[in-house]
Amino acid sequence: MLTEKYQSLIDLANRLGVSGLDVQEMDGVLKVNGIAGSADAKQQLWDEYNRLDPDYRSGDLVLNVSAPEGDASGSYAGSGAGSSSTYTVQSGDTLSKIGSNHGVSWQKIFEANRDKLDDADKIRPGQELTIPSA
């Protein structure tokens, strides 16, 4: 059972007071959603995930924990016209899928992240991408 494999991550999320914590196991993937109280708390969760699954190779966990609005290191931060947000790449993501979810083309995401990406087909879980406004 995946909840057992990732129990220390779930316990850490509870200790850190992640609000709206939702843990569901479906089709061999454990989905953990919530809002961390700070960028530091979010990073602690990613560090624990990396400890349990170095290089995020198992592909059996989707960690979708954002930090507060306006926190530059949050999963989704920023709002308003002309702004951008950030998104943390999850296992199974593609630039097209991310773009579709944010109402922007994959090409715009790729261009906004040229400093981090050399190839549009090579993104990895845990990467923080800038999502330009539509």
**Residues 57 and 100 both lie in one domain:** no
Give mean pLDDT, residues 26-52.
Answer: 87
Amino acid at 102: H
**C-alpha to C-alpha distance for 102 and 100, rounded to whole angstroms:** 5
Which bin fits 82, alpha (ψ -120 to 50), beta or left (φ > 0)? Answer: left
Structure confidence by residue, pLDDT tens digits, 106-122? 998 998 888 889 888 89
- Domain assignment present for 74: no
Domain containing residue 29: CATH number: 3.30.70
Q: Does 28 score more than 50 pLDDT?
A: yes
Residue 75 within any structural domain of the chain: no
Structural domain of 117: 84-132
pLDDT of residue 10: 93
Same domain flag for 6 and 62: yes
pLDDT tops 60 at residue 100: yes
